[in-house]
Structure 1
Amino acid sequence: MNKNVQIATLGGGCFWCTEAVFQKVKGVEKVVSGYAGGNVPGKPTYREICSGLTGHAEVIQITFNADIISFEDILVIFMTTHDPTTLNQQGADRGTQYRSVIYYHNENQQKIAEEVLKQIQPYYSDKIETELSKIPVFYEAEQEHQDFYKNNQSYGYCSFVIEPKLSKLRKLHADKLK
């Protein structure tokens, strides 16, 4: 039996947070932290990204089985586990590298994303600032950024920033969890 494997690329602030969220979702087979959307040549480093000067966003690339979870459901989870109304910021993380972004891989994903953004907007009092763009080159982040939450749960950032997002995930999307 062939699986209906698809890819989604999303940025919702720090990639440690979005990675931790989607690793808990049924149908998600793999989550890779990385960078996309920059305007400098070559593969960027975490240090370069953190400067905010490369134009890249911290993103995750999700490999998922669309027979188990739809792209639409992926986007609803994404849009409800971070704040899509803050431009270039998530909490204390500020800069273009922390922007909210959906990178679509094909026309169908673009249409679904446009519809989800339209449907989600009434739930927020502020305007959604999520960028919607065609997928640029995706660069995998350094190894120490992969599985960050799994490997560093005692780290303060994990307790104070990632845990509340996971709590929100459990509250809003319990039926979609592994």
Structure 2
Amino acid sequence: MTTTFVLAGGCFWCLDAAYRQLRGVVEVVSCYTGGSTAHPDYEQVCTGTTGHAEAVAVTFDDTVIPAEVILDAFFTMHDPTQLNRQGNDVGTQYRSAMFPRDDEQRGLFEAARERAAETWAERGPVVTTIEPLGEVTPAEDYHQDFFAKNPTQGYCLAVAVPKVNKVRAAFAEYLR
């Protein structure tokens, strides 16, 4: 059975690259959600005025990889103690947020956020929000699987690679 989680934790290129490392992940779509503008594009979202977050819709086979692992990996690949930013990416479009489809997902997300609060306690409080899932707009084609298409691009080398490596180290038993 497949399940899809919509998660935001900084630049979607990093989340996309890290999730694609995990066995059982069947699709990752970089997208925009959480805002008020209908069908926003990258340039609009980058202004920080639409309310959207750069996010990923991660579809996984929960008979291969448990939902809890998908969520714990989310809290491994980004710093959930940073408000409206990840490193040098600053703005509400880079916020740490989870967008549940239903009450069951909301419960899973709340439990994962509580686990993360224990893990990240030394850095400060977890600021990850749980927000209603509204319209999800797929990002432009060039954003999809960006890391695989641009492995030597500077941002990928400086920012995505360390995040991918953290997930690879922490979840080795689930690697492809």
TM-score bin (small chain): over 0.9
In structure 1, the residue matched to 2:153 is 155
Q: Secondary structure at the match of 1:8?
A: strand
Q: Secondary structure at the match of 2:30?
A: strand
Question: Do the aligned residues in 2 keep the contact of 1:20 with 1:166 (CA within 8 Å)?
Answer: yes
Post-superposition shift, 1:30?
0.4
State the 4+ residue runs in structure 1 displaced beyond 4 angstroms.
none
**1:116 is aligned with what amino acid?**
A
Post-superposition shift, 1:161?
0.3
Q: Secondary structure at the match of 1:34?
A: strand
Question: 1:116 and 2:96 equivalent?
Answer: no
Equivalent of 1:146 in 141, 144, 152: 144
**1:37 is aligned with what amino acid?**
G
**1:170 is aligned with what amino acid?**
R
Post-superposition shift, 1:120?
1.9
Question: Which structure 1 segments of 5+ residues have no match?
Answer: none
TM-score under structure 2 normalisation? 0.96
- When the two chains are superposed, the root-mean-square deviation of aligned CA atoms in Å is 0.8
Question: 1:21 and 2:33 equivalent?
Answer: no
| Counterpart-to-counterpart distance in 1, 2:100 and 2:68 | 12
In structure 1, the residue matched to 2:7 is 10
User: Per-residue CA shift, 1:34-67, capped at 9, x if unaligned?
Assistant: 1000112x21010001011111000000111111
Question: Do the aligned residues in 2 keep the contact of 1:32 with 1:140 (CA within 8 Å)?
Answer: yes
In structure 1, the residue matched to 2:79 is 83
In structure 2, the residue matched to 1:38 is 35
In structure 2, the residue matched to 1:65 is 61
Question: Which structure 2 segments of 5+ residues have no match?
Answer: none
| Counterpart-to-counterpart distance in 2, 1:116 and 1:146 | 26
Residue correspondences, number: 174
| Counterpart-to-counterpart distance in 2, 1:36 and 1:87 | 17
Question: Do the aligned residues in 2 keep the contact of 1:71 with 1:109 (CA within 8 Å)?
Answer: no
113-122 or 24-33, larger mean C-alpha shift: 113-122
Q: Secondary structure at the match of 1:17?
A: helix
In structure 2, the residue matched to 1:166 is 164
Equivalent of 1:133 in 131, 134, 138: 131
| Counterpart-to-counterpart distance in 1, 2:52 and 2:99 | 12
User: Per-residue CA shift, 1:125-154, capped at 9, x if unaligned?
Assistant: 200000112211100000010010000011
In structure 1, the residue matched to 2:49 is 53
Question: Do the aligned residues in 2 keep the contact of 1:9 with 1:61 (CA within 8 Å)?
Answer: yes
Identity of matched residues, %: 39
Post-superposition shift, 1:123?
1.6
